[in-house]
Structure 1
Amino acid sequence: MRMKAYRTKEVLSIKKIPQTILLAGFLFLLLIIPALAVDPAEENYLQIQKSLDLMEQYNGTEMTTAEYLEKIWPQVYAKISPEHKEKLAAFTHIWELKELDRTDGGTGIGFTLNEAIGRERFALMDAIEKLEITEGEYQAIAQTEIYLDLSEDLRKHLSGMVRAQRGPDVGVRGGASITEGETQWFSKNVTANVTRISVDLQWENPANIQNNLSITIYSPDRCVFGPFIEAESFYSNPQKMQIHTYIVRPEGVAEGEWWYCIQGVKVDGVQNYTI
């Protein structure tokens, strides 16, 4: 009888254990799931770093630009149209980082269609221009030198920004507003015999808030200037910020449509600005 009573208690105990485990497991999952949630921006940033590490490994390897993109940026290559894949396959990739052009207020890099590296890079830009990728991915692929020169915080921020496509020719406006992570495009038509283009991006920060904007300039002859991210405050008003730059060419700057890309790098709420 003692043996029977012992077994009865043991069976009852075994039946209760799964319920206790389930309850404890449920509570544990409620606590740990938020901690395990992956930040999409952080995940994208880490993926970009892996691709940049692969770029170092394949440095000096002869391959077409299509093969290069497929090996190093497979998640982006999969989104490219067959037409652009065919165009990229016509370039034999020889990777070479260009020296950055540093000017007051920012850093730029010059490409022209007369350079082999320029033709290849512009083909990459055309291929990924309209893809649903982050601004970080676009900059790391198309303007690697500038991306590598950015701070880690800014690179992580760009990994959380979905790249905005260029819209219709709206012209450069007197004033606009922007939020954090937003990208806005404006264009300006430049006539012949213009030797200097001056660009002045201004905004006034709310009290005790430091909002940051940036501007990148694209010329009709496919040169890229920026992104310019270093703003200066006005002496008379420390809350008023300005990014001022100019492009000069004695023989005349490129004639045609110039594009200005404004980005809300760090914005609390909505930031008004003028350009």
Structure 2
Amino acid sequence: MEVILPQNKMIQPNLADTSSARRPGLVYLIGAGPGDPELITVKGLRALQKAQVVLYDRLIAPELLREAPSDAELIYVGKGADCHTLPQEQINALLVQYAQQGRTVARLKGGDPFVFGRGGEEAQVLAEAGIPFEIIPGISSAIAAPAYAGIPVTHRDYASSVTIVTGHEGKAASPPVNWDALAALGGTLIVLMGVKALPHFTTRLIAGGRSAQTPAAVVQEGTTIRQRVVIGTLEDIAARADAAGLSSPALTVIGAVAHLHDLLAWYEGADQQRNIHE
């Protein structure tokens, strides 16, 4: 599929601009879904189509940006591993600044804004500044990427619970992930943003009592034409993913449901199935 870059003019944010309107504009915090541009909700798409300013993340599909009005200002605020275009505090300031100018702002975020998307922080800043906002949920990669890999996160015969955690534990004030407790919990475990930490948390889960033979899968760039899947066990999934050269963005599925991939895999990439079996 040919990808055409958006025609809208790309601008650099001007944090020095303090102009404001009497009545602030509306900010939409939109979940754009996990990668496939068709997975955005109808409500999210409608909000994007009437935005005057769009602040968008790294994994937003170019096709979605083309849905913004032709005169909308598109501002890239994406974050990659150890590479942040703007600190979160400046993104927050931009949302407030443009809304105070009376403009309609779309904050276009991958996945769901409130599932490790820092949407809660942005909503707090807007509320404290008296800016009206609306949350438009999106399809989280935690659910969609396994689905595109043929892995149901719950299944009557295999898992009656699913737990979603981050594998990227920073220096935030929140408590660290308790891998020992998760090992004893059972069910399906979804680890987001944890490719580099795979050796660490798989070892911790085994040490905590989770069977080393528990099925596991890593899904890279799920729901896109670049999707790749590696299947293994808790004991060897880190080595398999490394050997296959998988990298961010990717998530890990741990639990009995992962073995259903071979039976239920239905999604093909650009021209062939992008599944890797070692």
Query: Normalising by structure 1, what TM-score?
Result: 0.23
- 1 or 2, which has the higher strand percentage? 1
Rg: which structure is higher? 1
Query: Normalising by structure 2, what TM-score?
Result: 0.22
